Amino acid sequence: MTDLQADKLTGLRDHIVERAHMESHALLETVKKDVATWYSREAEKLDTEVDLLLRDARSRAEEIRRRQIAAAERERVRERLRVQNRLLQDAQGMLEEELASLREREDYDSILLGLLKETLEHLGTGGSFRFRLASADGVHGKALEKAVSGIEGVTVSFDPEPAPISGGIFLVSEDGKVHVLADWHVKAQEMTETLAQRLLPLL
């Protein structure tokens, strides 16, 4: 090979190397741009997904908080109702005890008489009736029978068999079809609404 051929060959090789270097550099720049574009796009998508996740997490947390507050409020209301019911039951029990203690008063026979007349008036019809008293009140039976003997259209007799009550009147028609229980437990129950109106505002 002559020197001229060798120089041409060397020049061609250098040209090829230089061109390859330039093309590889251009390709690398293109790849870098593509990578940068992809990275930017993926980073934007990731930011969007993170934002969505954060919003969803905040929404879920707020919903959980609302549910917890609602549950706490329901429990507070239930506890308040439990306290109110317990207070009313206790007050009703105390009232029943106070009514039973009326037996210690000197005018207890008048109280029983008023209760018996009230019970008869509540029926609003004539007829024959028997009344029973608590075992501790049996001594008042005959006096009560005599006191109501003058009521027109009504015949009332005392049944000495003790009634299973703490006090008050147990009235039964002669044919057994009508039963009226006007004992202290019933009277205390009848006053539950009044007790509630007076006590509940204090809670």
What's the whole-number mean pLDDT along residues 28-50? 78
**Angle in degrees, 0-180, between the axes of helices 3-100 and 192-199, rounded to the nearest 10:** 120
Whether pLDDT at 58 is above 80: yes
CA gap 35, 45 in Å, rounded: 15
> Ranked by mean pLDDT, which of 68-72, 101-105, 159-163 comes out on top?
159-163
DSSP-derived letter for residue 164 is S
Q: How would residue 1 be classed by pLDDT, with cut points 50, 70 and 90?
A: low
Are 167 and 134 a contacting pair, CB within 8 Å?
Answer: yes
Alpha-carbon 172 to chain mean position? 41
The stretches of the chain forming alpha helices (DSSP H) are 3-100, 108-123, 141-147, 184-190, 192-199
Buried residues in 107-143 as b, exposed as e (16+ CB within 10 A)? eeeebbbebbbebbeeeeeeeebbbbbbeebbebbee
Place of tokens 């009560």: 144
Of 6-10, 123-127, 141-145, the poorest mean pLDDT is in: 6-10
Q: How would residue 14 be classed by pLDDT, with cut points 50, 70 and 90?
A: low
Are 102 and 108 a contacting pair, CB within 8 Å?
Answer: yes
Are 140 and 112 a contacting pair, CB within 8 Å?
Answer: yes
**Lateral strand order in the sheet of 179-183:** 154-158, 127-132, 168-173, 179-183
What is the model's pLDDT at position 163? 92
pTM over the 0.75 mark: no
Alpha-carbon 201 to chain mean position? 19
